[in-house]
Amino acid sequence: MIKYYDTEAAYAADAKSPFESQVSLIGASNDVKFDGCNVIVGAKSAKTGSIVVLDGNSALHFVAVDTFSSTSFMSNYTIVGVVAVGVDHPDFRGKLVILHKNNTSKQWSAIYSFKLTGYTLDGTERTGTLTVRDSSNWGTGVDYVITYNASTVEDFVSQLNTYFKANAPFTTQNWRADADENDVVTLSFLYQDYRQASNSAKSGFALEANLLPDIKASSDMYRMNGQRSGEGTITNWDRAIAYFRNDNSSTTYNPASDVTSPKMSYPICLPGYLGTSQYQDDHCATLRAIYGEGEEGWLKFMASFLPVRPTSYGPVGNKEYYGDSFKNTYLMAGKKFTKQDDSEIVAFPAADYCASVVYNHELLKKGKWALPDMDTLFSIMKTIKYGTDPSRDADPVNRALNAIGGNAVSNGSYVWSASRYGANGAWCSGGNFGYAYNYSLYSSFSALPVALLDIRDSEL
């Protein structure tokens, strides 16, 4: 049933049937309300928090979140997930972002690799030195002199692998050498600590980072204050405000010298902005002259760290060069790493986990799910209130996930994107401070499988 009401008061006063689903249009606010049990809405009416299901014939449906009841739904339905970016979302640009009901913590990369150069293949005995870091010396590493005598790349790789299998720490880290069709030699190993990316070479060898060269990295990120690079762009307002409201001794968040430009990399804590910090003198008079005094001025200052979107700049906007959710995910998904005992592991667990989702529907089949790029992650995290608010029903996404028994998404969690920051880091949403953060690829953060559905698609 579709009904029209002039005002919210008229809607609230009207009796609703407990048995019949009703869609109501409120004239005064132009809002749409859904009442009843398992109210099915069309894709063009799928708000943030709508629940995504497949019926027994694998037809796709969207259920208004507050009407969902698993006990009275069709017995042969399948719950897929929830709409994280719906038609009511401030970032909606024609595509629904479907968030899978399950998410988990995964490494971005389980391995690291270098391209090896500097060696000489002339059939005489040669040596090269690798400076390798391990759990006994993560800080500086230890020099290992490797002797070889080879005239072909094949022989050289074989001799390297023989050495790696016989000597620690190469055994414990499962080092292996490989050569591609162009005779480029790559050294790969299990990624256990961020300092392994600082392994180096000398005296006959040279190393160059070579993990996933097809995924272009960039620290570029444009925010409202004019700053165009580095960490610090707010991904979740509630989390950022909660964190930076407190006094902070870090000079990154509480400057030790006078600030003279609004093009800031990182937010400043409220006491630092006000000049009342217990840790620093007042260095923010220039900022207060721009944004205003008191907490109101600080909130305007904090808003200057929101991202500029849409944009054509950096990995958030220039996806043709830096890759999007799907391109980057499927440059990683399915790739394996062979350990020294010939057993295989998933090389890029976060992307592989997201790509493994599959349903019997053309728009949700294998290959349609991805690890979100940073642009998509901004939109997902933007509306999340659970975390700073302890209620699982604090925001539409988590209210829907709670209704279907799915995993929560917290603004206090670190969440991976598929966008690369640098040779050994990727962009994520930082769970401590609520801003876009660069972290080492070996770390395990939340991986959220998403599917993007164009509402113009004939399948919807």
- Enumerate residue ranges in the chain where pLDDT < 70: 1-5, 10-36, 71-74
What is the per-residue pLDDT for 30?
65
Alpha-carbon span 303 to 306, nearest angstrom: 6
CB 87 within 8 A of CB 455: yes
36: left (phi over 0), alpha (psi -120 to 50) or beta: left
* pLDDT at residue 15, as a whole number: 56
- Delineate the domains of the chain, giving CATH numbers in brackets: 2-56+64-84 (no CATH), 111-209 (2.60.40), 237-303 (no CATH), 311-454 (no CATH)
Provide CB contacts within 8 A for 5, sequence distance 6+: 11, 14, 24, 25, 26, 27
pLDDT at residue 444, as a whole number: 98
Strands 22-26 and 2-5: parallel
Q: Which of 50, 102, 57 is nearest to 78 (CA)?
A: 57
Checking 290-295 for CB contacts under 8 A at 24+ apart, the result is 290/262, 291/262, 295/270
Q: Tell me what pLDDT residue 18 has.
A: 47
The predicted structure's pLDDT at residue 378 = 98
Q: Give pLDDT, residue 427.
A: 98
Q: pLDDT (tens digit, 9 = 90+) per residue, 143-175? A: 999 999 999 999 999 999 999 999 999 999 999
Structure tokens at 366: 């294998």
- Written as six digits, the tokens of 279 are 């840790």
Per-residue pLDDT, 154: 98
Q: Is the dihedral of CA 91, 94, 96, 97 positive or negative?
A: negative
